[in-house]
Structure 1
Amino acid sequence: MAGQEFRKFLPLFDLVLVESSEAETVIKGGIMLPEKSQGKVLQATLVAVGTGSKRKSGEIQPVSVKVGDKVLLSEYGGTKVVLDDKDYFLSRDGDTLGKYVD
């Protein structure tokens, strides 16, 4: 169930492919942060999702997010994937801590 703009990689089962947001270099007060202080960015946008995981009963448990959702990820989850010289992260649906609602 990938978005129309992203068809080069389709995750399997309950995996999701996300594009990480850029780290903020300036905080709300206008103070510029040095690179070491920026930390790991946990906010990302989903670009492709798998179909879901299979339960013991044989039915498919669908993924709880959809392409285009902005989500908050677990800090220590995911695998880095490079596609077309761009960095993405592949992680399990269960590693998604929440999604941002407009």
Structure 2
Amino acid sequence: MSAIVKSAKSIVPLLDRVLVQRVKAQAKTASGLYLPEKNVEKLNQAEVLAVGPGFTDANGNKVTPQVQVGDKVLIPQFGGSTIKLNAEDEVILFRDSEILAKIRE
């Protein structure tokens, strides 16, 4: 799924879905050398931009997502639904259960 939208703020996740944006890797080494764009790897770290309200399970219990807006999280290398914002930026929509971990700072 690849759609172009105006901004991430116009996307409101439903149920237990979480909207994240990957943290961009540094294109500059510690010694000050700039790396070509094709050599910069995509990181598995992301920042949570929006969170859905949760869902009700089969027993009638409310299940809320375990992350909040602003959290730093680890995401799987593949998966999720990618949404293009423009030529450079994209966000990814995951289910709460697909997120691997929170990162404490």
Q: Shared topology, TM-score over 0.5? A: yes
One of 82, 98, 101 as aligned partner of 1:98: 101
- Cα drift, residue 17 of structure 1: 0.4
The one-letter code of the counterpart of 2:103 is Y
Question: Where does 1:1-102 land on structure 2 (aligned, <5 Å)?
Answer: 7-28=9-30, 30=32, 32-83=34-85, 85=86, 86-102=89-105
Segments of 5+ residues of structure 2 without an aligned counterpart are 1-7
Coordinate RMSD, CA, aligned? 1.9
Aligned length: 96
CA distance in 2, matches of 1:75, 1:25: 19
Q: 1:3: which partner in 2?
A: none
| TM-score under structure 1 length normalisation | 0.78
CA distance in 2, matches of 1:95, 1:34: 31
Question: Is the 2:20–2:91 contact (alpha carbons within 8 Å) kept by the matching residues of 1?
Answer: yes
Consecutive aligned runs of 4 or more in structure 1 exceeding 6 Å deviation? none
Determine which structure has the larger strand proportion and give its number: 1
% of aligned pairs identical?
36
